[in-house]
Copies of this chain bind each other. A is one copy, B any other.
Amino acid sequence: MPRGQCRGQGWWHGKFRGCGYRITLGREAVLDVLSSCGGHLSAEDIFIKVHSKYPNVGFTTIYRTLDVLCGLGMVCKLDFGDGRARYELAEGPKGARHHHHLVCTGCNKVIDYTDFIDEEVDLLRQTEKGLEKKYNFKINDHVIQFYGLCDKCRKEGGKDAGF
């Protein structure tokens, strides 16, 4: 990741400018972290990573940037019920596939799964259509998550972090 001159040609710069947003170091750094590290990072996770490289990017900017990115549909804000939001790239240069989440309530590990997505999405679409008609709703989004205990946490006794 070259420094000074990497500004101005990221894959997302076009979309970004097109919406009237300025390209700043903070925003660049956040996007950088999101695409290099895996998903499901909290604002704090992101802040720490960004801060280690650019110590004068503040926490507020992290939140504000994530907000903008969510607004643009470039980032998904996730809620696994542990009191802090998580963020993941909606689709990067490599185009992350649509997936759902399996969350361990013991250690908060999150698994992306795509195995059963097709059937799920089928049913979902069908359900959404039915619900839209019956309740006259315009459905924009859905959340499907499974909660449980991972292999390791199951063995360590049934203690459950709750959620």
Report the separation of the CA atoms of residues A119 and B119 in the bound assembly, to the nearest whole angstrom. Answer: 11
Chain A count of residues within 8 A CB distance of the other chain: 38
Interface SS of chain A: mixed
Q: Does A94 contact B (CB under 8 A)?
A: no
Instruction: Please judge, given known A-B contacts A79-B81, A130-B116, A131-B116, whether A102 and B147 are in contact too, CB under 8 Å.
Output: no
Partner-contacting stretch, out of A21-29, A37-45, A149-157: A149-157
Say yes or no for A142: interface residue by CB 8 A criterion.
Answer: yes
A139-B131 contact given A79-B81, A81-B79, CB 8 Å threshold: no
Chain B residue at minimal CB-CB distance from A144: B144
Find out whether the CB atom of A135 lies under 8 angstroms from the CB atom of B102: yes
The chain B residue with its CB closest to the CB of A136 is B151
Set of chain B residues within 8 Å of A36, measured between Cβ atoms:
none
Question: Could you tell me which residues of chain A, from 85 to 134, have a CB within 8 Å of some CB in chain B?
Answer: 102, 104-105, 111, 113, 115-116, 119-120, 123, 126-128, 130-132, 134
Q: How many copies does the complex hold?
A: 2
Chain B minimum-CB-distance residue to A154: B138
B150 and A134 contact, CB distance less than 8 A: no
Given contacts A137-B146, A139-B147, A140-B148, 17 further A-B contacts (CB under 8 A): A102-B131, A111-B135, A113-B131, A113-B135, A115-B130, A115-B134, A116-B126, A116-B127, A119-B126, A120-B127, A127-B146, A128-B146, A137-B149, A138-B148, A142-B145, A142-B146, A143-B145
Residues of A within 8 A of B (CB): 79, 81, 102, 104-105, 111, 113, 115-116, 119-120, 123, 126-128, 130-132, 134-151, 154, 160
